[in-house]
Structure 1
Amino acid sequence: MKNLPSFFRPTLLALALATGFGLSACNKESDYTKELRKQEEAAKQADDTAIQAYLKRRNITNYTRTESGLYLVPLAENTSVTEKIKKGQLVTVNYVGRLIGESNENTVFESSSNSRQACGCYTFTAGNQSDPVARAGWQEAILLMKRGDRKILLIPSHLAYGAQPYGIVPVFTPLLYDIEVINVQ
């Protein structure tokens, strides 16, 4: 700035200050975003409590909990297949989605039998995060399964529909999916 004519210096200083303030404003979260993040954090704790209560009511002790908060309960394991499903593979499943709250436990909100496919199944690509049914919880779980496996997935809301209502599923609701992997290509 020393080499610039003196009449440019105030203009450059004003421009630098204005740009700095503008950029710092871009980094601020809106009140709505802050509130939503706060609700999501509270929901994660409430979801884990609800899932633990479901497991306790059902006397289920043979489960695995992943770092994300997803619970998997094995129902049947295909011991003749050793290779787990990989991203990009086409996966066909039979599934039933249920609510797990004490007052609405076992209420079915969707199932593959309603998929309008002759097999009564649902096919999706493993790893496709934009799939309308196979959301983040499914995508994480399916990579831990093999063809022929059947598991119950207890999915916290942040890995399911989160702040978006879905049919009869209220916002921030943990879900249960009974999934059987029929085929992998």
Structure 2
Amino acid sequence: MKYSLLALCFAFLVSCSSSDDEKDYRLENDDEIAAYILANNLVAQKTASGLYYVIEEQGTGAQLTSSSSVTVTYKGSYTSGTAFDDSKGELVSFSLQNVITGFTEGLSYFNEGGKGILLIPAHLGYGSKDYKEIPGGSVLIFEIIVYSPEMIAEKNEADIVAYLDANDINATRSDTGLYYTIEEEGTGVQPTATSNVTVAYKGYYLDGEVFDESGSNGVSFGLNQVIKGWAEGITYYKEGGNGKLFIPAALAYGNYNYSTIPGGSVLIFDVKLISVN
């Protein structure tokens, strides 16, 4: 599961430093942004901080604030058109308190479901000195889509269906949006949503990266103590049964990062119901 440069740049020090060796790129950046806007026929707004932004779609969901947690897809590039970061359609979640100032301010002009462009001068980005592969003084252009819960659910559904088609898997969809396969139904007791069970499992993302795995002896727990996708999914098997669960974020860990699970993630589990205790 890809973690982007943007999502990992927690609490980066903004470049408005009084240090003698800091260069002020504001005027230079402003001219560069103005030229980019003209060349690309954009209708942009400029804020008091020097940020420019374009709202292509305002969005109909909740208004974002500087302390919101968000889930987005984006592409980051320079005014030359060269890309330096790209989520490539993959959902990325983070708090707006943990990213560059231009992103924090810029997204506050959108609602969930919004789409647009941020044109961020260096003093609101990575500053006047080189930061990783970002050259000092760079203007950063971000094309962004802010996902609402409904959009995440639609994307999860489409991604699961695409995965099933690509891997020639015949799965059943429940009314909740859970997909599951039964490779062996099992012959023992069938659990209920409150049963205590022992299950051996492997959990991975759509790209195949494993994020959790039990031993062959499995792990015991109450089905009223786990994510909704498990509480529902395990009840489709009998003791000795096995199969796969394809769990959208709404039935798992939600739309924002949870521990090591990126927000909005579809989770796949290979499961074997060892016993109903």
Q: TM-score, normalised by structure 2?
A: 0.46
User: Where is the strand percentage greater, Structure 1 or Structure 2?
Assistant: 2
Q: How many residues align?
A: 139
Q: Does 1:55 align with 2:161?
A: no
User: Where is the helix percentage greater, Structure 1 or Structure 2?
Assistant: 1
Judge conservation of contact 1:109–1:167 (CA < 8 Å) in 2: no
SS in 2 for 1:54: helix
Give the distance between the partners of 2:210 and 2:259, measured in 1 at CA: 11
What do residues 27-61 of structure 1 show as CA deviations (whole Å, max 9, x unaligned)?
xx97469849x721111100010000100110112
Matched residue type, 2:204: R
1:105-116 matches, cutoff 5 A = 105-113=207-215
The alpha-carbon deviation at position 150 of structure 1 amounts to 0.5
Question: Paired residue for 2:174, among 66, 71, 74?
Answer: 66
SS in 1 for 2:275: strand
Judge conservation of contact 2:199–2:273 (CA < 8 Å) in 1: yes
1:5-16 matches, cutoff 5 A = none
SS in 1 for 2:236: coil
Judge conservation of contact 2:152–2:255 (CA < 8 Å) in 1: no
Which residue does 2:148 correspond to in 1?
Answer: 39
SS in 2 for 1:153: strand
Matched residue type, 1:178: D
Higher relative contact order, structure no. (Cα contacts within 8 Å, ≥ 6 residues apart): 1
RMSD of aligned residue pairs (Cα, Å): 2.3
Which residue does 2:251 correspond to in 1?
Answer: 159
Matched residue type, 2:180: L
Judge conservation of contact 1:162–1:172 (CA < 8 Å) in 2: yes
Which residue does 1:7 correspond to in 2?
Answer: none
Which residue does 1:93 correspond to in 2?
Answer: 199
Give the distance between the partners of 1:71 and 1:169, measured in 2 at CA: 19
Which residue does 1:17 correspond to in 2?
Answer: none
Distance 1:177 1:71, change over 3 A: same
Amino-acid identity (%): 30
Give the distance between the partners of 1:167 and 1:106, measured in 2 at CA: 19
Distance 1:171 1:148, change over 3 A: same
1:72-83 matches, cutoff 5 A = 72-78=180-186, 80-81=187-188, 83=189
Q: TM-score, normalised by structure 1?
A: 0.67
Which residue does 1:25 correspond to in 2?
Answer: none
Matched residue type, 1:108: V
SS in 1 for 2:180: strand
Give the distance between the partners of 1:179 and 1:94, measured in 2 at CA: 6
Q: Does 1:172 align with 2:264?
A: yes
Q: Which ranges of structure 1 fall in alignment gaps of 5 or more residues?
A: 1-28, 114-118
What do residues 79-121 of structure 1 show as CA deviations (whole Å, max 9, x unaligned)?
x33x421233210000000000xxxx210001123xxxxx642
